[in-house]
Amino acid sequence: MTDIDQLLHDVAAKAPLALPFGVTSLRAPASAEEVAQAEAALGFTLPPLLAGLYTRVADGGFGPESGLFPLLDDNGRGPSAVSSYLARRSGGQTDGWGWPEGVLPIADWGCFMLACVDCRDDNEAVLLFEPNAAIPEFAWYVDAPSLAGWLRGWLDGTGWYCNAEGEEENMAPWPHYGARAGR
């Protein structure tokens, strides 16, 4: 079993035991066709671990806080990862700041903050988008250097979002915002 296989196994084991409030069961996993449809709409491929979460665990609805966004559609109940990305890239939800290419929103922290995966990073870095900053460059932080590490933080309860204070202020700024947002 590879490291990714083991991590997906561990996430799949925890996911049904840690559903967000009001959710009674996991969604079905996304199909390979749905992933291909999402990638065609996004214009880039999903990194292996992120694709595995959607195809081998569930199509969103599990994970920290209110869980991961579904990949393509939530039947009008909320955003999907793809619709959220496309709306932000078109300028519809960024106050004109510019959304970085290849940065896929995957979860909502509340207060308009988002967890995002940098799909152009080989490690699948997880970024925190904190839009309450006055300057766009100060709205982006490295939440975890890898999606694997972010998931392990959820699994073992060590992620910043797992503690009662929810302290995220020790995160390093993400240095690639300007180049990736076309600034």
95-116 pLDDT, tens digit per residue, is 557 789 999 999 998 888 899 9
126-150 pLDDT, tens digit per residue, is 999 988 876 766 788 999 999 999 9
d(CA 139, CA 128): 8
* CATH number among 3.30.300.30, 3.40.50.1980, 3.40.1580.10, 1.10.1370.30, domain 3-180: 3.40.1580.10
d(CA 45, CA 12): 22
Mean residue pLDDT of the chain comes to 87
Instruction: Please tell me the predicted confidence (pLDDT) of residue 23.
Output: 79
More confident residue, 78 or 50: 50
Q: What is the pTM of this model?
A: 0.90
Question: What ranges do the domains of the chain cover?
Answer: 3-180
Q: Which two tokens stand for residue 159?
A: 């992620």
Using an 8 Å Cβ cutoff, are 104 and 117 in contact? yes
31-70 pLDDT, tens digit per residue, is 999 999 999 999 999 999 999 999 999 999 998 888 899 9
d(CA 72, CA 29): 12
More confident residue, 1 or 103: 103
d(CA 82, CA 50): 13
**Which secondary structure element, helix H or strand E, spans residue 110, and what is its range?**
strand 103-110
d(CA 5, CA 169): 32
